[in-house]
Every structure is written in structure tokens, then in C-alpha cells.
Amino acid sequence: MGRIVVLDTETTGLDPKRGDKLVEIGAVEMINRRLTGNNYHQYIQPERDVPMEAQAVHGITEEFLADKPVFAAVADEFLAYIDGAELIIHNAPFDVGFLDNELGMLAKARGTKLPKIRDICDVTDSLIMARQKHPGQKNNLDALCRRYYIDNGHRELHGALLDSEILADVYLAMTGGQTNLLLAGNDAEAGQGDNAKQVQTRVDGGGLTVVYASSEELIAHADKLEVVAKAAGGSAMWTEVESSTE
């Protein structure tokens, strides 16, 4: 599986053609369905006012943005970060439209050519995916978190990096059921019993570690089943299931 970047933006409004600009870009990187920790997060001075309606959504004020860099100062670093990745964006036309607008204005100011987002990245719209999987239902990020039992209680306001992290969880749930975003390379830390046995398997194209129970854990499991059986006055259902599969 290639490199995935889950991305979100915050803006001064809804329409770049009417002068609305970016105020924040947030993105998280996944390789083999694991977060790498190589995130991108940047607040941007939009060189215009931030209407109260927008502030009510993301809480980003003009005062906070006063000392932040303009898009021209961060564009090259941002393009290098996303280059060649598959971008996962919820309602992609919105975010891509703003990014392409900023790149177009910058190219004109520099007198050079800059790529559009789809020139250097594949773009997957997770909103379209959600509508295909759940037609006729609400498919905004909050609704998807409820549907897939993803905790977003810390999300009081929209934020590009926070929403990217939540969307990564939602994307994994929609595409394979995995919602545990361990950092890449941390698999070996799980199940560290002396006799634990680990093997690599493939699920949806990603490498996951299967950790088998140690002998001590199997003994403890059997002892627990005996306690359950005695309390139930018969046998534990799990014992019957294990017996039927031997």
C-alpha cells in the first residue's frame, strides 16, 4: 500500500472565488494503515479579515493569525509533503478548491507555474465513500464517528489537524474495520509475554501483527473458564465452542 495523507483545511469562508482564503492546513501521514507521526500542521495569515461566522466554526481569530506566515511562505514545503501521496479528504472539492486557488494566485504572483493538487496527488473523497456505503444517511464527520463508535468528544470546534486525525480513524473503519492508529513500528510492543508468538498477516493490503497467547495465558484462560462454568452451574459457552472447533 502506498503513502496516504489524510488532510483537512480551515478557511475564512466557503468560496475562494469570492476572496475566501485558507487559515489552517492539517494533515497526518499513514503508511501500511499506520500513523507515522510525520504530520503537517500550519496556520496561515490570510491577509484579510476572518468573519465571525468562520470564527464560530473553528475559533481562529485575526489576532491569533497576525504573526503567522502567508501561504507563499509555506507553499513549497507543503507541496513537498503531499507530493505523490494519496490524499484522503472529506468533501474533497472544497479543500482542493481552496488549495488550488492559493496555488494559482501564488503562481501568478511569482510569474511561474505551480501544479494543481491533482497533478501531484491522487485524491480520494471520503464523503463520496461514506455516501456509497450509507446512502440516505448523514455522512458528516460527527455522524460517521457515531456510526463507527469513534470518540470525538474532544472536538468542540473544527480544527484542521484534529479533524484529520479523526478522519483517519473514520477512513480505516470504513475500509477495513481497523481504528487503532498505532504509530508505525510499535507492533512489536504488543503482547510481550516470554512465550508469545507473533506472525505478520495481510488485511486490506496492510501489514498487521497477530500475537498468539503464551502458555501461561492459555492456562489462565482455562482457569477462568472453569470459574465461569461453576458459577453457571454447568459449562461455559466458550468451552463448548472451543471443543466444537478442535
> What pLDDT, on a 0 to 100 scale, did the predictor assign at position 196?
39
Lowest-pLDDT range of 45-49, 152-156, 160-164, 219-223: 219-223
The CA angle 218-187-145, to the nearest 5 degrees, is 100
Catalytic site positions: 158
Helices (H), 111-234: 117-120, 126-133, 141-147, 160-176, 215-232
pLDDT tens digits along 134-175: 999 999 999 999 999 998 877 666 899 999 999 999 999 999
Residue 219 — pLDDT band, cuts 50, 70, 90?
A: low
pLDDT at 232 over 70: no
- 35 neighbors 183 (Cβ within 8 angstroms): yes
Whole-number average pLDDT of the chain: 83
pLDDT tens digits along 186-211: 544 444 444 433 433 344 444 555 56
| Overall average pLDDT of the 20-27 stretch | 98
> What pLDDT, on a 0 to 100 scale, did the predictor assign at position 155?
65
> What pLDDT, on a 0 to 100 scale, did the predictor assign at position 199?
39
Percent of the chain with pLDDT over 90: 67
Options 3.40.50.970, 3.30.420.10, 3.30.365.10, 3.40.50.150; which CATH number does 3-176 get? 3.30.420.10
Give the whole-angstrom CA distance, residue 66 versus residue 83: 29
> What pLDDT, on a 0 to 100 scale, did the predictor assign at position 153?
75
Between 92-110 and 71-82, two packed helices, what is the crossing angle to 10 degrees? Answer: 120
pLDDT tens digits along 69-80: 999 999 999 999
Full-model pTM: 0.73
Could you tell me the sign of the dihedral formed by the alpha carbons of 125, 128, 133, 139, in that order? Answer: positive
Domain ranges for the chain: 3-176, 215-244
> Among 84, 82, 85, which residue's Cα sits nearest to residue 74?
82
